[in-house]
Amino acid sequence: MNKENIIKELNFKAIRSSGAGGQHVNKTSSKIELTFDVENSNSLSNNEKDILKVKLASKLTNENVLLIFCEETRSQHRNKDLVIKRFLNLLTTSLIRPKIRRKTKPSKASIRRKTESKKRTSVKKALRKKPDIN
């Protein structure tokens, strides 16, 4: 995955932010919409595209386009930087393969230690009981 080539494939669109902010919100377009076409990307391999389609299925449109929005700050440039960081973080975390779990058995020594400690505690608790009169 080449980050520079992927950033070149991104499309940005500036939109007016919603919410409180008075006149500033009504006249400036500070919200950024990032779109990335996963299907037609030249920077990703076919295997990476398939992984992203599965892992990011809830964030993709029907045409396999990833949409991310950012309207945290009043600056369009800062929002653009934030949305790029979010996008790259999302890609890298989605493409990480989890470690394969290999089943292991406990060693004979650890099994023996476990049974010995259980015997010791059972003897200790048995000695706490009141003795039988019979």
Residue 52: which CATH number?
3.30.160.20
The total domain count for the chain is 1
Q: SS3 breakdown of the chain: % helix, strand, coil, rounded to 5? A: 45, 15, 40
The residue whose two tokens read 């706490």 is: 128
3-state class (DSSP) for residue 16: coil
In a domain, 108, yes or no: no
Range of the domain at 54: 3-94
In a domain, 85, yes or no: yes
| DSSP symbol at 57 | T
In a domain, 115, yes or no: no
Of 61, 127, 53, 66, nearest in space to 95 by CA: 53
Q: What is the pTM of this model?
A: 0.71
Q: Alpha-carbon distance 19 to 50, whole Å?
A: 37
Residue with tokens 């076919």: 46
pLDDT 10s per residue in the chain (134 long)?
788 889 999 999 999 888 777 777 778 888 999 999 999 989 899 999 999 999 999 989 999 899 999 988 888 999 999 999 999 999 999 999 889 999 999 999 999 999 999 999 999 999 999 888 87
